[in-house]
Amino acid sequence: MLPEFWRSETTASGSERLIYAVRGGRAFLPLLVLGAGLIGAGVWGAGALGWGADLTVAGWVLFIVAPGGAVLAGVYVLDVLFWRQHSYTFDASMLRVAERSLFFRRESEIARSLVRGVELAYTPPREDAATGDPGRWATLLEYQRPDGESATLALTGMGSEEEAHWLGPLLADWAQVKLARGFGAAVADEADPEELPGSKPRKARKQTAKK
């Protein structure tokens, strides 16, 4: 069973395609209400400021920024719920990455021969995080660009441990590279690798009795 918001399909050429898109789920209704509410608030705000009123420069700035920003934020939320998606197509020799949105469309390709490794990077919850926050996992594909420079692709997803431990081995198996686990860049310098979730507990040191 795939992690939440992921689905798999087979292309016409027989390649596997993984698609991540936020559709449904427990947060769907609250987000739908939020998106519609922001758009409604923006339209109401524009009306309240006065359609066709004789506004000063500051008035026009407020007229555009406040209601316009609310409408744009609402459209963004609805874009995530109904349109935006990320897809990863695994051909025999190429990974094709595509992102579709109402605001843009991006596509890129990474040759399998240029992949150098796959890493699961864990970032612990902040001190002010809600109780029970498990932290966030990132699945990173490290590769070499055609110009010889190193680059990293962070695959988009929910950032859960379940997702990372499903996606990471799948990528490593396709690219035939090693899979590493570590801490995210923000905490990597001071974090102890043995404290990663799922790591083996540290062995207690043997104490020698003083004579």
24 has a pLDDT exceeding 80: no
Residues 98 and 40 grouped into a single domain: no
Residues 43 and 119 in one domain: no
Indicate the pLDDT class of residue 32, thresholds 50, 70 and 90. confident
In a domain, 170, yes or no: yes
List the structure tokens of 138.
């990132």
φ, ψ for residue 109, nearest 5 deg = -135, 145
| Residues 124/138, Cβ–Cβ less than 8 Å | no
User: Could you give the CA distance from residue 75 to residue 67 in angstroms, rounded to a whole number?
Assistant: 12
The last residue of a domain, from among 50, 67, 82: 82
Distance of alpha carbon 152 from alpha carbon 117, whole angstroms: 10
Same domain, 155 and 60: no
The predicted structure's pLDDT at residue 208: 40
SS3 of 62, please?
helix
Q: Which two tokens stand for residue 145?
A: 């660009």
Q: What's the CA gap between 153 and 5, in Å, rounded?
A: 20
88-134 tens-digit pLDDT: 999 999 999 999 999 989 999 999 999 999 999 998 888 887 888 88
Q: pLDDT per residue over 126-152, tens digit each?
A: 888 788 888 899 999 999 998 899 999
pLDDT value of position 209:
41
- Asked if residue 36 and residue 130 are part of one domain, the reply reads no
**Is the domain of 106 the same as that of 157?**
yes
Residues 125 and 178 in one domain: yes
Q: Indicate the residue among 82, 97, 128 that finishes a domain.
A: 82
Same domain, 172 and 97: yes
Domain of residue 130 covers 6-21+84-195
Domain count for the chain:
2
In a domain? residue 207: no
Identify the residue whose tokens are 């070499």: 144
49 and 127 both lie in a single domain: no
What pLDDT sits at residue 54?
A: 63
- Note whether 34 and 60 are same-domain residues: yes
